[in-house]
Amino acid sequence: MKRILLVSSNITTEPYPVYPLGLAVIAAALAAAGHEVEQFDFLVSGELEELLAARVAAFAPDYVCVSIRNLDNCDSLSVTAYPENARRIVAVVREGSRAPVIVGGPAFSIMPEELLAYTGADYGIVGEGERLVCDLISDLTDGKTPPTLLRSGGLLQGAEMVSPLYSDPLIRFYLEKSGMINLQTKRGCPHGCIYCSYPSLEGDRYRCRDPRAVVDDLERIKAEHGVESFFFTDSVFNDSEGHYLSVVEEIIRRGISLRWCCYMRPEGVGRREIALMKRAGLYAVELGTDAACDTTLHSLGKGFTFADALEANRACVAERLPCAHFVMFGGPGETMETVAEGLENLEQLEHTVVFAFSGIRILPGTPLLALAVRDGLLAEGASLREPVYYLSSGVDVQGMNDLIMASFRNRRDRVFPPSECQERLSIMHRFGYRGLLWDSLIKFPKP
């Protein structure tokens, strides 16, 4: 048995603080392998390096695992990068311990070679870490010499995914700050959105957990930690195969009282499905609409039309379910004409919140990167550790941003730039509100 300290390096609270779910999954795998595990969350600590140093000294770990969740905040108008925090964490560990440092997480897996060198960690795990981290620690304990970067030879199936091991102090923090805890019902995404890293991180097909196991987790977390509000972090909750409905029906069958929200694709979901999910506790949904007209939707490889998004919105309104659309302007194929068309289209989305972004973060391994190189926006082989955004040559960026600002002005249900969201949410937090909070910006017509 080894003593293993798990450290979440995330410090972002945008749009709200979220429990480091990946850390809880790794903790469960390590504990099941017989190790003593402790979780440290840099966000919970208040970004105080002194507290981390004290924890390292008190726990005396044999190994330290550091998770990097995000590269940056994906806001071209107010850029914040996060790998530097992971680098500082590795330095703090080095000062107080000789324990090998293992780094992983979704952001790390996007550019592992560069981040391993940048952070100064000893080993890196690319992709799903449940098996790899246990194998790595076993090999190191046995005196073997594993490679510095470990990659899985195959993806875990649903039955192989462990239930998260949550830390009660961390849960109390996130319940206080955001009022909800994260859980996953499946991994993977089969959709070909050109900017997205999900298929490379989790695979290009859905790998679903048994609905009974998912609901077992919900019941356990509620019983052990008093959690009654959840966020399903699946890349897309409403898969076309209908696995999500099996989860929903299992919640209803067991008669569990809880509230939950999720990410959904605005396609293939109607009023019947929305009504069923509401019966199971769905209270809000975030829609990955991502573009505002058919031209830009097609350019992004979304595979649906704006009419689909409009229908999904109408289904939510009919069931009085708060929904939010997230839309990016300035991507491939964007012109000042499509910006104007998109803003006109957004006017049709009634009784909903729209969050708009200027530009699209370019990530390694995505078709958007190849487009950016082809269009001369980025040199071949350029580093992407610092945020780089795709902004179409067909738009005047300042003019585009001004049009969005003018369209959204004086509307509580329209948010641009993204930093405005944080300002609004901060005010609501100070008044004691918890949860998504954007759902309170929607006013439905009287029945």
* DSSP string for residues in 108-153: HHHSHHHHHHHHT-SEEEES--HHHHHHHHHHHHTT----SEEE-S
- Based on the number of CB atoms within 10 Å of its own CB, is 413 exposed (0-12), middle (13-18) or buried (19 or more)? middle
pLDDT 10s digits, 238-272? 999 999 999 999 999 999 999 999 999 999 999 99
Question: How much is the pLDDT for 14?
Answer: 76
CATH 3.40.50.280 maps onto the chain at 3-151
Domain with CATH 3.80.30.20 in the chain: 180-441
Q: Which two tokens stand for residue 144?
A: 């073997």
Characterize the bridge pairing of strands 186-187 and 207-208: antiparallel
What is the spatial order of strands in the sheet that 353-358 belongs to? 181-183, 229-232, 259-264, 282-290, 323-329, 353-358, 414-415
Which residue, among 407, 391, 180, has the nearest Cα to 283 in the 3D structure? 180
**Residue 14 token pair:** 């945008």
Task: Determine whether 16 is exposed, middle or buried from the number of CB atoms within 10 Å of its CB (0-12, 13-18, 19+).
Answer: buried
The CATH class given to the 3-151 domain equals alpha beta
Q: Which ranges of the chain have pLDDT less than 50?
A: none
**Which class in CATH covers the domain with range 180-441?**
alpha beta
> What is the per-residue pLDDT for 358?
97
SS3 41: strand
CA dihedral 165, 109, 356, 396 (to 10 degrees): 170
pLDDT of the residue at 431: 56
With 0-12 / 13-18 / 19 or more C-beta atoms within 10 angstroms meaning exposed / middle / buried, residue 374 is exposed
